[in-house]
Amino acid sequence: MEKKQPLRQCIGCGLQKEKRELARILKTPDGEIVYDPTGRGNGRGAYLCRDAECLRKARKKHALSRSFQQEIADSVYDRLEEAMKQA
């Protein structure tokens, strides 16, 4: 039997999905917020569907600020949106 993957919640739509289906947003030890396509980066992570729509939802409700407990500039969301498009 296949091992069950741990579930994570998308910070945009709030649905629980398998970790591997989600994109990871990472706060690096330097405090930078980056897109982490491999999911292996070192630091605190938040999960998001691989969908620009969920990123927009997250932006609207300031979900990243809540996940990382810090102010997230609009430019950070812009950068993440670009990174997700290219992924």
* Site of interaction with Zn ion (CB under 5 A): 10, 12-13, 49, 54
The CA distance from 77 to 6, in Å, is 26
Shortest approach of Zn ion to residue 61 CB, angstroms?
Answer: 12
Phi and psi torsions of 44, nearest 5°: -85, 135
The CA distance from 21 to 71, in Å, is 27
DSSP symbol at 17: E
The CA distance from 38 to 14, in Å, is 21
Shortest approach of Zn ion to residue 67 CB, angstroms?
Answer: 14
User: 72 or 84: whose CB is closer to Zn ion?
Assistant: 84
Shortest approach of Zn ion to residue 21 CB, angstroms?
Answer: 10
User: 26 or 55: whose CB is closer to Zn ion?
Assistant: 55
User: 10 or 26: whose CB is closer to Zn ion?
Assistant: 10
